[in-house]
């Protein structure tokens, strides 16, 4: 096996596009620095709503295949070469939004056995041996069943990795500080008349917004990393419309495109100051 770089980062996400929206700057920055960045995506988002009219015919497996191609383009934009689907393509399907009959599909991720799915992620952890893992909080950021299940699986896999002797030194949850979100939406409301979007979302529509004091790390986007994030988000054209520095999902509500990405450390040794490097305080592990 080829020797891996000294620093290794694992991100665990629910659907294609989540990684670019939440962590595009972080992934691009670390990939450019030579960190081994691994993305595990748990479903192909087969039940996502499609934005472009010319692609509106896509659904189910066909949409999943298309979104997989979008994911490959997004990873090319971010410079990330190691990206995988949990258990392989088609192992778990999109669960749809919370409360829909789709949640009862026995093949959907929401119905997956957490320990079994975590065992599949443990295989990746054993192979890559990441020092840092990034995922969602226990509400999945905004309550989507696949995001909640991703949190459960990722955190269970971290526990299994500890038991197996390949511990993950630091675990971060995706966050946005409330003050930053509020300031960004103030700017958005001023800019909205000049944008191709008719309405704006609200702070409550942004996943993972918390009080500022809970933020323990901020990864600021340089020019190249910020541009890479926007390009990666554009690659997910079925799900995202980008008009920098804003974007919209299928609800057509404009929201800020954050080029500084924020995190809350939930496992690992905390720092006395807000970190600018997710690897701060840890050395390389074999």
Q: Is 191 annotated as a binding residue?
A: no
SS3 of residue 40 by DSSP: strand
60-78 and 223-235 helices cross at what angle (nearest 10)? 170
Within 8 A by CB and 6+ apart from 10, the residues are 38, 39, 40, 124, 125, 128, 130, 132, 133, 134, 168
Measuring CA to CA, which residue among 75, 80, 58, 28 is closest to residue 219? 28
Q: Is 36 annotated as a binding residue?
A: no
CA pair distance 144, 159, nearest whole angstrom: 23
Q: What angle do CA 12, 16, 17 make, to 5 degrees?
A: 100
Q: Is 81 annotated as a binding residue?
A: no
Instruction: Name the binding residues for Zn(2+).
Output: 15, 18, 147
Instruction: Name the binding residues.
Output: 15, 18, 147
């Amino acid at each position: 096996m080829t020797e891996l770089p000294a620093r290794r980062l694992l991100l665990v996400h629910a659907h294609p596009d989540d990684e670019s929206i939440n962590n595009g700057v972080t992934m691009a920055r670390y990939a450019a620095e030579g960190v081994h960045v691994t993305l595990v995506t748990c479903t192909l988002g087969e039940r996502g709503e499609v934005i472009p009219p010319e692609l509106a015919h896509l659904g189910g497996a066909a949409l999943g295949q298309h979104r997989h191609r979008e994911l490959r383009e997004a990873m090319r934009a971010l410079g990330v070469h190691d990206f995988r689907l949990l258990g392989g393509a088609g192992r778990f399907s999109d669960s749809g939004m919370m409360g829909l009959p789709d949640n009862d599909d026995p093949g959907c991720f929401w119905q997956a056995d957490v320990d079994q799915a975590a065992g599949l992620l443990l295989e990746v952890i054993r192979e890559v041996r990441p020092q840092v893992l990034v995922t969602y909080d226990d509400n999945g950021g905004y309550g989507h069943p696949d995001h909640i299940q991703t949190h459960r699986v990722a955190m269970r896999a971290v526990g299994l990795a500890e038991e197996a002797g390949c511990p993950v030194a630091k675990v971060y949850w995706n966050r946005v500080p409330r003050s930053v979100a509020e300031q960004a939406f103030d700017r958005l409301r001023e800019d909205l008349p000049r944008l191709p979007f008719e309405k704006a979302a609200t702070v409550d529509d942004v996943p993972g917004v918390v009080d500022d004091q809970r933020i323990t790390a901020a990864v600021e986007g340089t020019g190249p990393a910020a541009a890479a994030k926007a390009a990666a988000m554009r690659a997910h054209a079925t799900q995202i419309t980008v008009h920098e520095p804003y974007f919209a999902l299928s609800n057509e509500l404009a929201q800020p495109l954050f080029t500084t990405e924020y995190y809350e450390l939930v496992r690992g040794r905390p720092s006395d100051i807000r970190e600018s490097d997710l690897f701060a305080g840890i050395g390389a592990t074999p």
